[in-house]
A = this chain, B = another copy of it.
Amino acid sequence: MGRIRLIITAAALSACATAETPQQTQARMDAEAAAARPAIEARDAAYVAAFNAGKFDQTSATYTEQGIQMPPNSPANVGRAAIRKSDSTFFTLGTSILSVRIVSVVVNGPMAISQGEWTFEFKPGKNTPKGMKAMKDHGKALTHWHNVNGEWMMAHDIWNADTPAQP
């Protein structure tokens, strides 16, 4: 029976992807999203705390090694070194205050997508170049997370503003 058992198990496993009905897949994905959401929210909150504190080794390490950050009005930043550089742009020029909120999470296995909202405020200080003004903006974001050894990492992060363009 050992051989039969092995064959049955192998057949059942190889049928994994199609063994679920669409309803079962959706139910499993909903359960996975509910389970993963607190961890993803915590990662997002840690990113924001590190960003506001100027800890850009930490913000960039939230991305996968080849993670892609896609800021508005700028080409994509590919990889942690480029993301680190981009994240730190405003830090020495004044006070930056970022906040984010996760609106929804979709998960299937090691793959997740979160829809988010953000606010950003820049307050000029003594190091602010002339002509650089205070600004306050808000908008939306979509993040593709990949679970690497149990930790959710950003593979893609893109955002834009809800407000009219301001050059």
Residues of A at the B interface (CB closer than 8 Å) are: 1, 4-5, 8-9, 12-13, 15-17, 19-20, 22, 25, 28-29, 32, 68, 70-76, 106, 108-111, 113, 115, 140-142, 144, 149, 155-156, 158-167
Given B8, B12, B68, B167, which contacts A115 in the complex, CB threshold below 8 Å?
B68
Contacts of A167 in B (CB 8 A): 164-167
Q: How many copies does the complex hold?
A: 2
Cβ–Cβ contact A140 & B73, under 8 A: no
- Shortest distance between the CB of A89 and any CB in chain B (Å): 14
Cβ–Cβ contact B70 & A160, under 8 A: yes
Cβ–Cβ contact A113 & B113, under 8 A: yes
- Shortest distance between the CB of A36 and any CB in chain B (Å): 12
- Shortest distance between the CB of A138 and any CB in chain B (Å): 10
For the A-B complex with A12-B12, A29-B111 known, give 16 more contacts whose Cβ atoms are closer than 8 Å: A5-B8, A12-B13, A17-B28, A25-B109, A70-B160, A71-B160, A72-B160, A72-B165, A73-B162, A73-B165, A76-B162, A106-B144, A111-B113, A142-B142, A142-B158, A166-B167
Cβ–Cβ contact B16 & A19, under 8 A: yes
Complex Cα–Cα for A12 and B29 (A):
18
Cβ–Cβ contact B142 & A73, under 8 A: no
Cβ–Cβ contact B74 & A144, under 8 A: no
